[in-house]
């Protein structure tokens, strides 16, 4: 995702603390909600970079539970309710 290119560049240039701070500030400033699994991925990436402390600065009101998939009600096993969720946070450090 192009929006995260600057964060990846910061990490690549040994500016991991600034990168994590940038992500946290963006989440808080734009009131972006994070599912628990997205928060866990962010925490994991920050921990690998030795900056997990920064992730605790996310406003806890922005954390939402992982949606439970809707029961399969179709005969072919395809339920449109299973595609719910945000995908903006894909980190590959």
Query: pTM (2 decimals)?
Result: 0.65
pLDDT category at 18 given cuts 50, 70, 90 is very high
Report the pLDDT averaged over residues 10-17: 91
Token duo for residue 31: 């009131």
**Distance, C-alpha 68 to centroid of its chain:** 18
pLDDT in tens, 26-54: 999 999 999 988 999 999 999 999 999 98
Confidence check: pLDDT of 85 > 50: no
Kindly state the DSSP code that residue 84 receives in the 8-state scheme.
-
How far apart CA 22 and CA 29 sit, in angstroms, is: 10
Residue 87 scores a pLDDT above 50 = no
Q: Which residues contact 22 (CB under 8 A, 6 or more apart)?
A: 6, 7, 10
Confidence check: pLDDT of 15 > 90: yes
């Amino acid at each position: 995702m192009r929006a995260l290119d600057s964060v990846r560049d910061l990490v690549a240039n040994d500016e991991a603390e600034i990168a994590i701070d940038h992500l946290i500030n963006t989440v808080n400033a734009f009131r972006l909600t994070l599912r628990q699994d997205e928060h866990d991925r962010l925490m994991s990436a920050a921990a690998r970079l030795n900056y997990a402390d920064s992730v605790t600065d996310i406003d806890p009101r922005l954390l939402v539970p992982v949606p439970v998939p809707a029961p399969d009600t179709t005969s072919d096993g395809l339920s449109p309710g299973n595609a719910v969720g945000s995908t903006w946070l894909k980190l590959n450090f």
